[in-house]
């Protein structure tokens, strides 16, 4: 009998499995170079069971034999239909868990029979019980049901930095929740939790899809709303553009041969600026910020009581999310762990502790400094040419690249001097200069 205990993040959109081996936390690949398993199951053309990417790919075309977001139904005494059969929610979750168990077994070369599985802090007893049952159906003894914010705090090692209060802000593909936690030694206590079970990165994609539909209607007089295949492709393209906008100021939502009009192919190529995108999602982000304040109020705390903000969930890579949180809480959110993986990492750490190991550390390579450039802007009420513009914030995992748009100051300006600094001071000249170059030969254009 093997004594492996794996940690599993059984998410609404995606799931991951991790283990501590030789004192290191490893998130186990589900395919070459991929550590995230979409939480989607389905039946293929030949009735074979599909789990993960394959099921996600067929979802748009065969929703009747695919099931996603089953986590939202956990604990309900209902069934969902997949093909001609009915399944209890825990049976569907078990298919995902069984796949993760098989992936772990293949990776470790040994049987795996025990797991720590995470659930949202707000999960009721019935929902926790259903999660346990799902584990059992998948052949896993669930040795602990762990709250997701607790897992995140374990991964971020927040509890080892002394007693403190933190906010865990978790924005995934389809759910949002925020928890206020008290950290003390090995104990992570969830003081309050608030959220929206139907808000996440998928809604951001949808905004971009609507924007593209609108564009097609206006420029091509095309209505694609009733074409599932076109919508599925738009959705993919929208997600790709959204992800690109996390690192670049512009992205192109593009799809060749999207559909046909009067027998001719229609290509989509629609440029979107980060600024326009941020406007599209501003209300959603506003809602999450409101939830942060509600959770704080429920915990009986003020912003000033919080010493850390931990980011969880893929959608927290959105710079606008980080910026709004920083403005609101006056703390730079911690984002040095992969936000998709940190809950699974925390679950694996808890599993290691249960099996008697010392709590391992998560090693990440981060930049210890903030890097940025300078630009002409307003500083203490006056225009000043050396305003610091941070581009890569300290504690960002490396390698990383960031781009930003700047403008010339004078009409017909021929060259631009670009300075690179390291530091935090709003006056760039108080930071350490680490490089300087000239961009020359600009075309004659207005400022």
Active site residues per annotation: 9, 71, 148, 170
Regarding 318 and contact with ligand AMP (CB under 6 A), the answer is yes
In 246-273, which residue ranges form alpha helices assigned H by DSSP?
none
Q: State the Cα angle at 9 between 124 and 282, rounded to 5°.
A: 80
Among 274, 317, 324, 393, binds ligand AMP (CB under 6 A): 317
C-beta of 195 vs 314, nearer to ligand AMP = 314
Piece of 143-151, 307-315, 327-335, 421-429 that binds ligand AMP (CB under 6 A):
307-315
Spatial distance between the Cα atoms of 30 and 349, rounded to a whole number of angstroms: 19
C-beta of 177 vs 202, nearer to ligand AMP = 202
C-beta of 314 vs 360, nearer to ligand AMP = 314
C-beta of 4 vs 123, nearer to ligand AMP = 123
Stretch 339-368: interaction string toward ligand AMP, x if CB under 6 A:
-x----------------------------
Hey, which bits of 347-381 come out as E strands? 371-379
* Per rule CB under 6 A, count of chain residues that contact ligand AMP: 18
Q: Do residues 208 and 243 make contact, with C-beta atoms less than 8 angstroms apart?
A: no
Regarding 243 and contact with ligand AMP (CB under 6 A), the answer is yes
- Minimum CB separation from ligand AMP for residue 51, in Å? 16
Block residue for tokens 């920083």:
326
Piece of 45-53, 63-71, 237-245, 391-399 that binds ligand AMP (CB under 6 A):
237-245
Q: Which of residues 3-42 bind ligand AMP (CB under 6 A)?
A: 11, 13-14
Residues whose CB is less than 8 angstroms from the CB of residue 358 and which lie 6 or more positions away in sequence, other chains included:
23, 352
Stretch 159-178: interaction string toward ligand AMP, x if CB under 6 A:
-------------xx-----
DSSP letter for 158, please: G
C-beta of 14 vs 58, nearer to ligand AMP = 14
Regarding 428 and contact with ligand AMP (CB under 6 A), the answer is no
C-beta of 383 vs 400, nearer to ligand AMP = 400
- Minimum CB separation from ligand AMP for residue 203, in Å? 9
Q: State the Cα angle at 22 between 149 and 160, rounded to 5°.
A: 40
The SS3 of residue 123 is: coil
Q: For residue 121, what are its two tokens?
A: 């802090």
- Minimum CB separation from ligand AMP for residue 392, in Å? 15
Q: For residue 72, what are its two tokens?
A: 């939202």
Regarding 239 and contact with ligand AMP (CB under 6 A), the answer is yes
Q: Which of residues 82-111 bind ligand AMP (CB under 6 A)?
A: none
Identify the burial level of 26 via C-beta atoms within 10 angstroms of its C-beta, where 0-12 means exposed, 13-18 middle and 19 or more buried: middle
Q: State the Cα angle at 320 between 284 and 343, rounded to 5°.
A: 80
Regarding 148 and contact with ligand AMP (CB under 6 A), the answer is no
Piece of 20-28, 108-116, 311-319, 412-420 that binds ligand AMP (CB under 6 A):
311-319
- Minimum CB separation from ligand AMP for residue 235, in Å? 10
Among 52, 314, 372, 423, binds ligand AMP (CB under 6 A): 314
Among 35, 211, 242, 274, binds ligand AMP (CB under 6 A): 242
Phi-psi domain of 379 (left: phi exceeds 0; alpha: psi -120 through 50; beta: other): beta
In our burial notation (b when 16+ CB lie closer than 10 A, e otherwise), range 381-394 reads eeebebbbebbbbb
Among 315, 325, 345, 375, binds ligand AMP (CB under 6 A): 315
Integer angstrom CA distances of residue 191 from 128, 147, 164, 180, 252: 18, 12, 12, 5, 42
How many residues in the chain?
447
Spatial distance between the Cα atoms of 225 and 98, rounded to a whole number of angstroms: 37
Residues facing 379 on adjacent strands = 382
Regarding 288 and contact with ligand AMP (CB under 6 A), the answer is no
- Minimum CB separation from ligand AMP for residue 334, in Å? 16
Spatial distance between the Cα atoms of 3 and 331, rounded to a whole number of angstroms: 41
The SS3 of residue 361 is: coil
Residues that bind ligand AMP (CB under 6 A): 11, 13-14, 172-173, 200-202, 239, 242-243, 246, 313-315, 317-318, 340
């Amino acid at each position: 009998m093997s004594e492996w205990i794996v940690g599993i993040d059984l998410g609404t959109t995606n799931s991951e499995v991790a283990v501590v081996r030789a004192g290191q936390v490893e998130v186990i690949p589900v395919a070459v170079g991929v550590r995230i398993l979409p939480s989607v199951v389905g039946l293929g053309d030949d009735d074979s069971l599909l789990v993960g990417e394959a099921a996600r790919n067929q979802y748009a075309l065969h929703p009747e034999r695919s099931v996603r977001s089953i986590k939202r139904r956990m604990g309900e005494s209902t069934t969902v239909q997949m093909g001609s059969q009915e399944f209890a929610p825990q049976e569907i979750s078990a298919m995902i868990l069984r796949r993760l168990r098989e992936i772990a077994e293949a990776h470790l070369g040994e049987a795996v029979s025990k797991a720590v599985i995470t659930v949202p802090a707000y999960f009721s007893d019935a929902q926790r019980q259903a999660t346990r049952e799902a584990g059992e159906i998948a052949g896993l003894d669930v040795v602990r049901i762990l709250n997701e914010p607790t897992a995140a705090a374990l991964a971020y090692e927040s509890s080892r930095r002394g007693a403190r209060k933190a906010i865990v802000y978790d924005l995934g593909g389809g759910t949002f929740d925020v928890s206020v936690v008290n950290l003390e030694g090995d104990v992570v206590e969830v003081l309050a939790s608030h959220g929206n079970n139907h808000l996440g990165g998928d809604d951001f994609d949808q905004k971009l899809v609507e924007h593209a539909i609108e564009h097609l209607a206006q420029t091509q007089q095309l209505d694609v709303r009733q074409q599932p295949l076109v919508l599925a492709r738009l959705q993919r393209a929208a997600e790709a553009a959204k992800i690109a906008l996390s690192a670049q100021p512009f992205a192109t939502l593009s799809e060749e041969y999207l559909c046909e009009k009067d027998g001719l192919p229609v290509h989509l190529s629609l440029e979107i600026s980060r600024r326009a995108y941020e406007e599209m999602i501003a209300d959603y982000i506003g809602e999450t910020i409101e939830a942060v304040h509600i959770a704080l109020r429920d915990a009986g705390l003020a912003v000033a009581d919080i010493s850390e903000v931990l980011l969880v969930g893929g959608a927290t890579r959105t710079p606008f999310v980080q910026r709004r949180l920083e403005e609101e809480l006056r703390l730079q959110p911690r984002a040095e762990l992969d936000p998709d993986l940190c809950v699974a990492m925390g679950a694996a750490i808890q599993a290691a502790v249960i099996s008697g190991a010392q709590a391992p550390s998560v090693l990440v390579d981060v930049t210890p400094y903030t890097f940025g450039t300078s630009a002409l802007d307003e500083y203490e009420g006056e225009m000043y040419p050396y305003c610091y513009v941070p581009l890569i914030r300290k504690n960002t995992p490396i390698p990383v690249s960031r781009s930003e748009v700047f403008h010339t100051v004078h009409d017909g300006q021929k060259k631009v001097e670009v300075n690179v600094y390291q530091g935090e001071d709003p006056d760039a000249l108080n930071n350490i200069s680490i490089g300087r170059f000239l961009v020359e030969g600009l075309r004659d254009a207005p400022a």
